[in-house]
């Protein structure tokens, strides 16, 4: 429980008697609150949705629509229904009190009031509102995490089921007809099993990464190293994959001074940007890779001549499980996890991942991480 409600809450006083307003105004302002005033029910109904007060002090007997009707309308309007309404009135027969509560008021203060009583009740209701908002916020976050977990399970079961089915299929054929199959075919099947299970391992690795990131357990192993050497090493692997699609990789790598980074995590980021450029480009295209010093940051970028991305897809790119309009051009696996992981890996190094793209104009993905010899 919080001891204090948030300071500077906004309170709307609704009363037609200036003397009452003055007393309440001074008292509540001295507590650090911001006060707005409405001299009638109509004015309150007009003002409340605009200023969204944290609490309303409402008189009952006013010319025009009275406090009861004002309260009824405030609690019926979605824009104002969560604002606590406290009646503060000379009309305090048991019947009136009951009517007030039945219309949605949260409390009732009789006039003439005692200053301390008003302040205590106001404090209590502000605190209560604050706690309710906190709870709603936590609930929203829990719902988000739960949705993510459901997506996670849905995707894992879907994307793992297909490869397992293929592996079982190959194994069945090898068991049933292994002896009769030509050596070549047997090797082909075993290679398929090996490759498919490799993809499954990669996917499981990515799922573990995502769950580790989401639960906040991403630990970096920082070592002074050459980023250019790491990029060179990763390029060797991807050149081989690019050749299958007749895609040419052009690299221009500055020799940056060694600095502290986690080679395995940044290697994953490099791998994903390179594999995406190759995966989503049609055959016979070029990919330009650059490493440069951008104002004390190591900037790694990958520019492709692929399909490019719409503004809408660019907005979704970095969330987990985002398979977007562009699909792989060579039947490569796609789980929509790589960029979400890349973003977290880069951010863990206090860096930034960004994209520049337009439909039909290719894409450039880049990340920048600060070069510093000390632990980031
Ligand atoms: N260079 C690119 N050109 C065009 N579209 C891209 C490019 N990179 C990513 N995308 C789009 O963004 C989506 C998300 O990319 P991300 O790397 O997160 O997942 P993925 O490559 O589909 O799967 P994974 O990386 O998990 O194997 C892709 O499915 C694709 O639609
Ligand atoms: Mg990817």
Ligand 1: residue of 336, 343, 353 to mutate (most ligand atoms within 8 A of CB) is 336
- In DSSP terms, 35 is beta-bridged to 11
CB 373 within 8 A of CB 260: yes
Find tokens 């070592």 and name the residue.
Answer: 223
Name the region of 100 (left: φ>0; alpha: ψ -120 to 50; beta: rest).
alpha
278, 279, 281, 284 alpha-carbon torsion, rounded to 10°: 60
Q: Report the CATH number of the 10-113 domain.
A: 3.40.50.2300
CB 369 within 8 A of CB 350: yes
pTM of this prediction exceeds 0.85: no
375 pLDDT higher than 50:
no
CB distance 366 to ligand 1 below 6 Å: no
Of the options 1.10.287.130, 1.25.60.10, 3.30.1950.10, 3.40.50.1970, the CATH number for the domain spanning 145-214:
1.10.287.130
- For 294, the 3-state DSSP assignment is strand
CB 14 within 8 A of CB 26: no
Which residues in the chain are classed under CATH 3.30.565.10? 223-370
Q: Centre a 10 Å sphere on the Cβ of residue 95 and count the other Cβ atoms it contains.
A: 9
CATH class label, 223-370 = alpha beta
Q: Which atom of ligand 1 has the smallest separation from the CA of 337?
A: 26
CB 238 within 8 A of CB 202: no
Mention every residue, 6+ apart, whose C-beta is less than 8 A from residue 98. Answer: none
Which residues in the chain are classed under CATH 3.40.50.2300? 10-113
- Which whole number is the average pLDDT over 82-106? 90
Task: Tell me the CA–centroid distance for residue 354 and ligand 2, in Å.
Answer: 14
Q: CA-based angle 180:185:187, to the nearest 5?
A: 110
Ligand 1: residue of 208, 209, 326, 353 to mutate (most ligand atoms within 8 A of CB) is 326
Which residues in the chain are classed under CATH 1.10.287.130? 145-214
Task: Tell me the CA–centroid distance for residue 357 and ligand 1, in Å.
Answer: 13
Task: Tell me the CA–centroid distance for residue 329 and ligand 1, in Å.
Answer: 12
Report pLDDT digits (tens) over 132-188.
999 999 999 999 888 878 877 887 787 888 889 999 999 999 999 988 999 999 999
pLDDT band at 217 (very low <50, low <70, confident <90, very high): confident
Find tokens 């906190």 and name the residue.
Answer: 134
CB distance 309 to ligand 1 below 6 Å: yes
Report pLDDT digits (tens) over 251-289.
999 999 999 999 989 999 999 999 999 999 999 999 999
């Amino acid at each position: 429980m919080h001891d204090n409600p948030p300071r500077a809450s906004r309170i709307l006083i609704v009363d037609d008697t200036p003397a009452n307003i003055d007393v309440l105004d001074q008292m509540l302002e001295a507590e650090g609150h911001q006060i707005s005033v409405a001299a009638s029910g109509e004015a309150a109904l007009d003002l409340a949705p605009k200023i969204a007060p944290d609490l309303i002090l409402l008189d009952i007997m006013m010319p025009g629509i009275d406090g009861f009707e004002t309260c009824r309308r405030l609690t019926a309007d979605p824009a104002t229904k969560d604002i606590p309404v406290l009646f503060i009135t000379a009309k305090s027969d048991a019947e009136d009190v009951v009517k007030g509560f039945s219309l949605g008021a949260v409390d009732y203060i009789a006039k003439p009031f005692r200053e301390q009583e008003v302040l205590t009740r106001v404090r209590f209701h502000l605190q209560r509102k604050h706690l309710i908002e906190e709870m709603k916020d936590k609930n929203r976050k829990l719902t988000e995490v739960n949705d993510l977990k459901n997506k996670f399970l849905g995707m894992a079961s879907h994307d793992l089921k297909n490869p397992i089915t293929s592996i079982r299929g190959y194994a069945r054929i090898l068991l049933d007809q292994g002896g009769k199959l030509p050596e070549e075919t047997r090797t082909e099947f075993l290679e398929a099993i090996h490759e498919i299970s490799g993809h499954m391992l990669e996917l499981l690795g990515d799922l573990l990464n995502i769950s580790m990131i989401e639960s906040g357990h991403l630990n970096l192993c920082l070592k002074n190293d050459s980023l250019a050497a790491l990029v060179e090493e990763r390029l060797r692997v991807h050149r081989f994959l690019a050749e299958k699609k007749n895609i040419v990789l052009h690299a221009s790598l500055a020799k940056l001074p060694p600095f502290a980074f986690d080679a395995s995590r940044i290697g994953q980021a490099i791998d994903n940007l390179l594999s995406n450029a190759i995966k989503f480009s049609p055959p016979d295209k070029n990919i330009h890779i650059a490493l440069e010093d951008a104002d004390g940051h190591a900037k790694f970028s990958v520019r492709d001549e692929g399909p490019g991305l719409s503004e809408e897809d660019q907005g979704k790119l970095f969330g987990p499980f985002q398979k977007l309009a562009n699909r792989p051009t060579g039947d490569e696996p796609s789980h929509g996890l790589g960029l979400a992981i890349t973003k977290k890996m880069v951010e863990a190094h206090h860096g930034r991942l960004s994209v520049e793209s337009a439909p039909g104009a290719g894409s450039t993905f880049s990340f920048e991480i600060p070069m510093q010899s000390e632990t980031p």
